[in-house]
Structure 1
Amino acid sequence: MTNNTETIGLIAGGGQFPLLVAKGAAAQGNRVVAVFFKGHSNFEVSEYTDASVELKLGQLNKLISFFKNNGVSKVVMAGTINKPKALDIRPDFRAAKLLFKLATKGDDVLLRAIASEFEVEGMEVVGPHEYAPDLLTPSGFLTKRKPNDVESGDLAFGWKIARELGRLDIGQCVVVREGIVTAVEAIEGTDAAVKRGCELGGKGCCIVKVFKPGQEKRVDMPSIGLKTIQGMKELGATCLGVEAGKSLFFDLDESVQFADKYGITIVGLNQELIDKELS
């Protein structure tokens, strides 16, 4: 629980996540100020903020100045940024200097560097789940139908592959069919990777999404939601594994109900469950 007198600086991307974080932070008695990016952010968040500004991606100095001028003590990043569009970023001098120092430009490396810029200015970067803890994925079998033997094998295999993929800071998700990887997530995002993998692998694919080993939990947690489950139904995918406790699951109850209706299995994964139940 945060101190009720704090001012939270919210960097708002798209989707419902920044809205839930803003609601949660405000409900805890905090003052919330937000930064939006045209073409990326959910502007409904402004209903729960005390101040806001719209900037272009790459205007790091203006973003930090806005937060400092509004007395921000903690910074939260929540919501999606369209990665292909983000390639058109025009960094200001501070952002360009930061980018120049990085050996690689992977998500985790970049987000860690951005977080360090706030901390240098005396603002603590905190995880968005502190203001929306109910979004964390629970552990175990979440649907009525448990994975069959083939799906159990694919979950264990996909867990191993996805963690290695994440260790290389490439993506968080893999699609597997009977021990064969049909797609890995890169810049296109989870839903596009799932679509491609299922089209290549056919019906019966298994999707696994994990927290990257060593990932910056405060600024980039993997997330999943009803849209992905609906897409699985349309594409014929039968099983989803999401890392428990380190990933966000939006509309979980609705997602489980939908999955149960169409015989889709959802599992909150961790190493213990992999070793005891799926291997």
Structure 2
Amino acid sequence: MKKLGIIAGKGTLPVTIAEEAKKQGYKVVIIALDPVADSINGSADRIYRINVGKFGKLIDTLKKEGIKEVIMAGKVSKTLLYKNRTIIPDVRALKLLMKLPDRKDDTILSAITEELEKEGIYLLETAHLTKNLLIKEGVLTKRKPSKDEKRDIEFGFRIAKEIGRLDIGQTVVVKDRAVMAVEAIEGTDEAIKRGGQLAGKGAVVVKVGKPQQDMRFDVPVVGLETLKAMYSVGATVLAAEAGTTILVDKEESVSFANKHRISILGIKF
């Protein structure tokens, strides 16, 4: 039987991938990263909860299970490196962190990928088994963006691509062709709330892949939680790059958006 490892952070995406993998005949082993991973009981053949700082233990567990291919899915915030005192890196994690030239997302995740490959463990694209989750070009909701919102989308797309190129974040909040917020270490939802509070009602949220996007890690993801954050501050449009951004909880997300007059669309420029 084919085996697949899933390194799981926060959110529903790890469970969705695990369920699809089992349908396709994989034996699924999930490494749920404490303290961020949500409950995933019953969605895999075997589940291990491992502290996010214990990189050596993670590798040893994958090797013990005979895992050669893994998928990373779910959010792991870098704020854990600075705020959470329960994250105590093991020797292998410390060695990895000490040799990094910086702590940008791509720098950290590329180094993790290289360490896994040294052990014969290869990282697959996040959507390797679930390409149907990648948002397609076009409007998904009943409400379409207005002419002004379309101008904000195009403006925001260019800005988001630039912050992606710099590996700062993937999301911008804009209104009237002005930037209200740029996503950084706090994550998408907090950036939306911050930008929406500054903009008032009618802000546009744009999320894109980086120009140098590696589809194996840090893939842009939106879903119901994104929309709830938008609704809390009166944001009216979620524009996500088609073919690069994963939309989780699609039915619930579209239903929520329709109920609250929010437009969701996949974009390409």
User: What residue is the counterpart of 1:226 in the other structure?
Assistant: 224
- Return 118-127 or 253-262, whichever deviates more: 253-262
Counterparts in 2 of 1:37 and 1:163: CA distance versus 1, 3 Å? same
- Return 240-249 or 132-141, whichever deviates more: 132-141
Alignment of 1:38-53 (within 5 A): 38-44=34-40, 46-53=41-48
Consecutive unaligned residues of structure 1, counting only runs of 5 or more, are: 272-279
Alignment of 1:130-279 (within 5 A): 130-271=128-269
User: What residue is the counterpart of 2:108 in the other structure?
Assistant: 110
Is it true that 1:76 corresponds to 2:71 in the alignment? yes
Q: CA deviation at 1:48?
A: 2.9
Greater helix share, 1 or 2? 1
- Relative to the length of structure 1, the TM-score reads 0.90
Counterparts in 2 of 1:250 and 1:97: CA distance versus 1, 3 Å? same
Output the amino acid matched with 1:181: V
Whole-Å separation in 1 of the counterparts to 2:159 and 2:210: 11
Is it true that 1:29 corresponds to 2:17 in the alignment? no
Q: CA deviation at 1:17?
A: 0.9
| Conservation of the 8 A alpha-carbon contact between 1:111 and 1:216 | no
User: What residue is the counterpart of 2:56 in the other structure?
Assistant: 61
The one-character-per-residue Cα deviations of 1:143-195 (angstroms, maximum 9, x if unpaired) are: 23322221111101100000101111111100001011011111111111111
Whole-Å separation in 1 of the counterparts to 2:264 and 2:153: 10
Consecutive unaligned residues of structure 2, counting only runs of 5 or more, are: none
User: What residue is the counterpart of 1:121 in the other structure?
Assistant: 119
Kindly report the root-mean-square deviation, in angstroms, between the aligned alpha carbons of the 2 structures: 1.6
The one-character-per-residue Cα deviations of 1:79-102 (angstroms, maximum 9, x if unpaired) are: 122432343442222222222222
Q: CA deviation at 1:18?
A: 0.9
**How many residue pairs align between the two structures?**
266
- Return 51-60 or 118-127, whichever deviates more: 51-60
Q: CA deviation at 1:37?
A: 2.5
- Relative to the length of structure 2, the TM-score reads 0.93
Whole-Å separation in 2 of the counterparts to 1:58 and 1:202: 39
- Return 149-158 or 54-63, whichever deviates more: 54-63
User: What residue is the counterpart of 1:100 in the other structure?
Assistant: 98
Q: CA deviation at 1:133?
A: 2.5
Q: CA deviation at 1:59?
A: 1.4
